[in-house]
Structure 1
């Protein structure tokens, strides 16, 4: 009888789809080992194990950002990020926050132009709780009409807060200057008009279209047992019925190539501020460009630290600005390079002239070997120091899986940085810095001064 019952049960129960696990980076003595499991339904789980720590950071990355929005949906990705904290069938908004607060953990989320991430950092013993809460948010959010209406006011306040910070707002202006009215050129938060116009049904459809397991990456770092975490994640998604498509495969990383034109455009936003905030920049490199290592070294030498050219020339020698730096933004198909400075309005012309002269000098003559060597050391050190906590490690492996589909060890990253030659830096300097720059300015800039700014990019 027992044997017959067992055979009947075996025929009636469908075979459980098999998960595929790979060791991507072996680590040293099991420390720092990175593993990936691909679950049925196309959900990926990546972990980095550090048995010596007592914490763990758990996150879920979603392959959707503001560049996936139409003009009428601008701000929907960020709006949705807020709404997933407002409650599920299992937990209220208070229950979600109280669960993590009760164990002394931290929980948050962020939206970018090409991805969104939800995460929680807790003691290693509380990792199952973090998994359950964050997975419940991603799979069971109610997106209730009353929550959409209530959170609209919060997001409008966030937009107002950003607009009150010209040092932050100028980066949105620069994106618009360089990329125009395109998905990458629009603000991640949306605008007052687009946020006011978004409906509950639009946001719910956006959620259903983009929050599919094939577009998700689960990442965890710290004192994590990979197999146990996979079982917990699988159980959480199974309860929501999110892994029913056993033939689904993960979405590939974004790809493509887009040529940005160096137009020499100038955009000025006249504001009554104490400082003028300026960004002088040009098209940069996509995040998949092989020259990105040389570009990182160039950026460090130009404006990445206190010994950089721009910091020395603008702040140390002349005292024209408190904050001056350069930066790169790499997307799947294009990139930006910019130099930011905040200074008194009367000093804008001098600051921009010095920045333009330094960019031109490096484009024409390159950097000295000693500058390249110092920048390589700075970049290597900051790379390692920036990975000293479980949150940073979770960020690295999650973003790597989502954006590149592969993992690179810290040693391999350091080797890539160390292999950059002065000639490679000079070549990328010619290609990037030799382009005609564009300019974005926020501050009390009068018409006569605004007209002069066009000479900077001529």
Structure 2
């Protein structure tokens, strides 16, 4: 009993301290003071001070204006377009007037293969050597093919621009298209086409172009298996040399001084092979395609309303898609038709809705142009499509100039022709084509 009496005060004291700690009543511990050497090291490692030996670039001024796009045409016909952007990195790319609209007969599907054959073996480098050089520079490269243009781009630090340009030119001018590599890519392309059939949006887009257009725009961009079966290195070489000529190429750069880029380009491109572009009837070519283009009247007015699905446009043509599960497809089609009719009816779209659509479009475009890769693409594609790059003020003025009458007029023009309709999957609940046509009359 005596022992328990002696332990009770200590137990109470321990319990009291525990409760104070749980409820935050414990007195604050005095701050720990570092010894002088440790305090000096901690101050030196503070994030508020630059690291020793690290030279930071000067801060950008608040009133920085965008550099103009400068363009020079070299004697061999190649155009060099640059826009200087502050910062340590830059992106350069070759933009070529070539794509599936230039294919015919045995060359059908070649653009799809060329996209996969980029940055492979050349006369001066093996594929392994190219990959090693890219890794040393920390570079990011890509090749993309659309229906009317192809892009070879290289994104890296500005200090590596001479090497980047040299690799790009080597891959553009001197590809070998080795048969074993072609066969390897054909196998992967067949797998890609099978994967396409599991992606409703991409598959419908391809089918809509085939059904909705005639001539070159109906050529498949993603080559089907029966087309891939006849492609070989000889066909690829033939298409490449007919279409990849200097007068059909734009070298676009974002983040690089124009004179610096021009000096290297002129030195390396003096003997770029020349040749007449492949002749095509004017009716089969419909200008440049770009998912980033912001200067098409069709895109401007189409963004005044929204539909589930997507909007894809060439220069003089466009496709609207509605993609839904089979359980809601009838309702989705009904909403899309109702919205199209409403937009074509004067007074149905309000100024508030138009303002909202304009703001959404402007913010999307301006945010995209914060990327040097997108800026380089924008420069290259506009140079190919229009021969010059229109300043951003031009786009903003055009957006502000769109009126409700413009929207209604365009919508009525779009509804004046019979619609193109493609259904895929469980189509039992898709409304009949004739009933859709009657509602749109």
With normalisation by structure 2, the TM-score equals: 0.77
State the distance in 1 between where 2:350 and 2:65 align: 41
- Structure 2 unmatched ranges of 5 or more: 1-62
Cα distance 1:347–1:450, how it changes in 2: closer, same or farther (>3 A)? closer
Corresponding position: 1:236 with 2:268: yes
Larger Rg: 2
After superposition, where does 1:237-256 map in structure 2 within 5 Å? 237-238=269-270, 241-242=271-272
Corresponding position of 2:365: 383
Corresponding position: 1:363 with 2:344: yes
Corresponding position of 2:411: 429
> Do the aligned partners of 1:109 and 1:117 also contact (CA within 8 Å) in 2?
yes
State the distance in 2 between where 1:120 and 1:286 align: 21
Corresponding position: 1:40 with 2:75: yes
More strand by share: 1
Corresponding position: 1:201 with 2:182: no
Tell me whether 77-86 or 165-174 shows the greater mean CA deviation: 77-86
Corresponding position of 2:305: 302
State the Cα deviation string for residues 353-376 of structure 1 (Å, max 9, x = none): 221122122223352222212212
Tell me whether 147-156 or 115-124 shows the greater mean CA deviation: 147-156
Cα distance 1:427–1:451, how it changes in 2: closer, same or farther (>3 A)? closer
State the Cα deviation string for residues 153-174 of structure 1 (Å, max 9, x = none): 1221222222221221111111
State the distance in 1 between where 2:172 and 2:209 align: 30
> Do the aligned partners of 1:57 and 1:394 also contact (CA within 8 Å) in 2?
yes
Corresponding position: 1:211 with 2:192: no
After superposition, where does 1:296-445 map in structure 2 within 5 Å? 296-303=299-306, 310=307, 324-331=308-315, 334-343=316-325, 345-365=326-346, 367-445=349-427
State the Cα deviation string for residues 363-401 of structure 1 (Å, max 9, x = none): 233522222122122212212111001101001110011
> Do the aligned partners of 1:299 and 1:328 also contact (CA within 8 Å) in 2?
no
Corresponding position of 1:279: none
State the distance in 1 between where 2:233 and 2:107 align: 12
Please state how far the C-alpha of 1:49 moved relative to its aligned partner. Answer: 0.7
> Do the aligned partners of 2:82 and 2:254 also contact (CA within 8 Å) in 1?
yes
State the distance in 1 between where 2:425 and 2:200 align: 8
State the distance in 2 between where 1:29 and 1:374 align: 28
Cα distance 1:36–1:259, how it changes in 2: closer, same or farther (>3 A)? closer
State the distance in 1 between where 2:335 and 2:298 align: 21
Corresponding position: 1:79 with 2:113: yes
> Do the aligned partners of 1:298 and 1:372 also contact (CA within 8 Å) in 2?
no
> Do the aligned partners of 2:91 and 2:154 also contact (CA within 8 Å) in 1?
yes
Corresponding position of 2:130: 96
SS at 2:389's partner residue? coil
Cα distance 1:337–1:165, how it changes in 2: closer, same or farther (>3 A)? closer
State the distance in 1 between where 2:116 and 2:381 align: 21
Tell me whether 114-123 or 375-384 shows the greater mean CA deviation: 375-384
- Structure 1 unmatched ranges of 5 or more: 1-27, 261-284, 304-309, 311-323
State the Cα deviation string for residues 229-281 of structure 1 (Å, max 9, x = none): 1121222223xx316x6xx99x89x9956899xxxxxxxxxxxxxxxxxxxxx
Corresponding position of 2:41: none
Please state how far the C-alpha of 1:450 moved relative to its aligned partner. Answer: 5.8
State the Cα deviation string for residues 210-243 of structure 1 (Å, max 9, x = none): 1111111100001x121111121222223xx316
State the distance in 1 between where 2:412 and 2:191 align: 43
Please state how far the C-alpha of 1:109 moved relative to its aligned partner. Answer: 0.8
Instruction: Report the RMSD for the aligned CA atoms in angstroms.
Output: 2.8
With normalisation by structure 1, the TM-score equals: 0.75
Please state how far the C-alpha of 1:86 moved relative to its aligned partner. Answer: 1.8
Cα distance 1:133–1:286, how it changes in 2: closer, same or farther (>3 A)? closer
